[in-house]
A and B are shown apart, each in its own frame.
Chain A
């Protein structure tokens, strides 16, 4: 159980670091959704099921939708 925990935490930290280096904006948003989903799994390891349901439904569904709508309205890639 401890090694599964460590593995999930490493996935979360590597995805968060990868946001710095990704140029395409939609890929960066999808990687942030991965961070939110793994955080929702970590909340179950901490014995907090209420918070896990809320984080999964808000962080994975609504935040992704609103970022994609904002990106499609501005239509610019990360050039720098």
Chain B
């Protein structure tokens, strides 16, 4: 690495910062919709971290669009393929969690976590 601040360091800070903020929102907020927002932010952070595990400096995308590209100059394709399905599954989880929140609102009439009996925080 040439200097301390380069691309990999910034991606590192971004992904772990998002995971930290997402988990902090999930621990300390009281509104149920904000807790699901924290879940969404944490999932985005994890996906950024997984894709950055296959990135090296000045390498390009793994698509052979021209004739003269070599495989030595490409990034790793396996983390990108796994993150592709992980993003779609994350949306499915968010949709299911929000339908649970709507059902909970219909049963108890409030969205505040500390007021719902049985969820003493």
Give chain A's interface residues, CB within 8 Å of chain B: 2, 5-6, 9, 12-13, 16-17, 19-20, 25, 28-29, 32, 35-36, 39, 42-43, 45-51, 54-55, 58-59, 62-63, 66-67, 70-71, 73-74, 76, 78-80
Contacts and interface: CB of A to CB of B under 8 A. Distances in A.
Given A63-B40, A74-B102, A5 B75 contact: no
Contact of A20 (B25, B48, B75, B112): B25
A13 B33 contact: no
Majority SS at the chain A contact face: helix
A52 to B, nearest CB: 9
Shortest Cβ-Cβ A-B pairs, 5 listed: A70-B98, A16-B21, A74-B105, A9-B14, A78-B31
Given A16-B18, A32-B41, A74-B33, A54 B10 contact: no
Contacts of B31: 25, 78, 80
B98 to A, nearest CB: 4
Nearest to B6: A2
30 contacts: A2-B6, A6-B5, A13-B14, A16-B18, A19-B37, A28-B33, A35-B18, A35-B41, A36-B40, A36-B44, A39-B48, A42-B48, A46-B11, A46-B51, A46-B55, A47-B60, A48-B51, A48-B61, A48-B80, A49-B63, A63-B91, A67-B37, A70-B33, A70-B99, A74-B101, A74-B102, A76-B105, A78-B30, A78-B31, A80-B31
A28 B91 contact: no
Interface string B7-50: 10011011001100110110011110110111011001001100
A29 B24 CA distance: 17
A2 B11 CA distance: 11
A19 B83 contact: no
A70 B31 CA distance: 13
A59 B17 CA distance: 19
